[in-house]
């Protein structure tokens, strides 16, 4: 199974996006995941790792946080292990 880690910038106010991402992934995949961990960070970071693979980095997507794309990337990664 897959473990997801969401690293988000605390000073930037990205906690709300991190929590929304966490809730969406848990609702979408539920028991297919080992867990979804929130990791406080800084310097504008918003990265999502599935196991050890980086599946989303807002810096690589023009500063956008696209929940649908993140969900699809985690889905692809989780099902690669199935």
What mean pLDDT is predicted for residues 12-19? 98
* Measured distance CA(63)–CA(80) in Å, rounded: 27
The pLDDT of residue 31 is: 86
Render 8-54 in DSSP notation, one character per residue. Answer: EETTTT-HHHHHHHHHHHHHHHGGGEEEEEEEEE-TT-EEEEETTEE
Write the pLDDT tens digit of every residue in 16-71. Answer: 999 999 999 999 998 889 999 999 999 999 999 999 999 999 999 999 999 999 99
The answer on pLDDT for 15 being more than 90 is yes
Q: Does 79 or 76 have the greater pLDDT score?
A: 76
């Amino acid at each position: 199974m897959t473990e997801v880690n969401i690293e988000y910038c605390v000073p930037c106010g990205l906690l709300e996006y991190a929590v929304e991402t966490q809730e969406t992934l848990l609702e979408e995949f539920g028991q297919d995941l080992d867990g979804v961990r929130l990791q406080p960070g800084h310097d504008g970071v918003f990265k999502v790792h599935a196991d050890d693979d980086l599946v989303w980095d807002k810096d690589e997507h023009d500063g956008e946080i696209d929940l649908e794309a993140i969900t699809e990337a985690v889905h692809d990664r989780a099902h690669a292990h199935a």
